[in-house]
Amino acid sequence: MRTPIFAANWKMNHGPSQARAFMAAFLSAYSPRKDRSVVLFPPAISLTTVRDALGGRHDIVLGVQNIYKEDKGAFTGETSAPMAVDAGAKVALVGHSERRHVFGETDEQCAKKCAAAFRAGLTPMLCVGETLAQRESGDTESVVLRQLAAVVTTLAADQVARLVIAYEPVWAIGTGRNATPDDAAQVHAAIRRWFSSQSGAANDVPVLYGGSVNTKNAASLLAAPGVDGLLVGGASLDAEAWTAICRT
């Protein structure tokens, strides 16, 4: 049994002042638990604010929403993996659908970002998922497995064992629509079959579901076979709602 992971992606929300207020409310309401892990992905400008607010709360892990493929250099506006580590991050989101579809991030770039994360000691949380058009054309599994293979086949076995996957159907992100527990279970099963065929690590790699998760559907999605946790966007911006989801 894998320990459930609850991950909050704040996207471009909660600057330092709002992050400080959120953390005060969340930490006062959420007590440490050994039966789950909590990861917070604030925007880069709020990383150190959240780090400082956490203090001794080692049950909550800090993550960074994006990293660049290079460790340093003349790349204005980018955040390197070593810089994220220095700011307190332990996890990095890679290949979120908004990075892929808004900023044009490719599978190859995702692979390079995962490599950069591992070089710096970060755990990559690799996001995979299909668009509505791809889903309706019956290409969900082929798209997801292509995105997965583009990264995993470039990694060493010990790196694969440290990877976290998040399945996030693009058509369900921020739309109010979400995959049913059965939908999620089917794709998660396909991911596990692929891992088993490639590396035998099917039971080792956590696979989270993300896409319009909220307080009403969190429990049913988490109960779906093969779902090891939740990657939450909009509902994680409210401390009360996020606390309720983390208690699911």
What band does 202 get if pLDDT is binned at 50, 70 and 90?
low
CA-wise closest residue to 96 among 10, 194, 188:
10
Compare 136 and 70 and report the one with higher pLDDT. 70
Active site residue 96: yes
**How confident is the model over 226-234, as a mean pLDDT?**
96
Residue in 96, 105, 130, 188 annotated catalytic: 96
Bridge partners (DSSP) of residue 232 are: 8
**How confident is the model over 15-30, as a mean pLDDT?**
98
For the chain, what is the domain count?
A: 1
**How confident is the model over 169-183, as a mean pLDDT?**
82
Active site residue 168: yes
Lookup: tokens for 106 = 């490719």
Q: What percent of the chain has pLDDT over 70?
A: 97
State how far the Cα of 89 lies from the Cα of 84, in Å rounded to an integer: 5
CA-CA distances (angstroms) from residue 118 to 85, 89, 115, 163, 206?
11, 13, 5, 9, 17
CATH of residue 103:
3.20.20.70
Q: Show the domain range for 235.
A: 5-246
Per residue in 93-114, pLDDT tens? 999 999 999 999 999 999 999 9
Residue in 14, 98, 168, 188 annotated catalytic: 168
Residue 1 has pLDDT above 60, yes or no: no
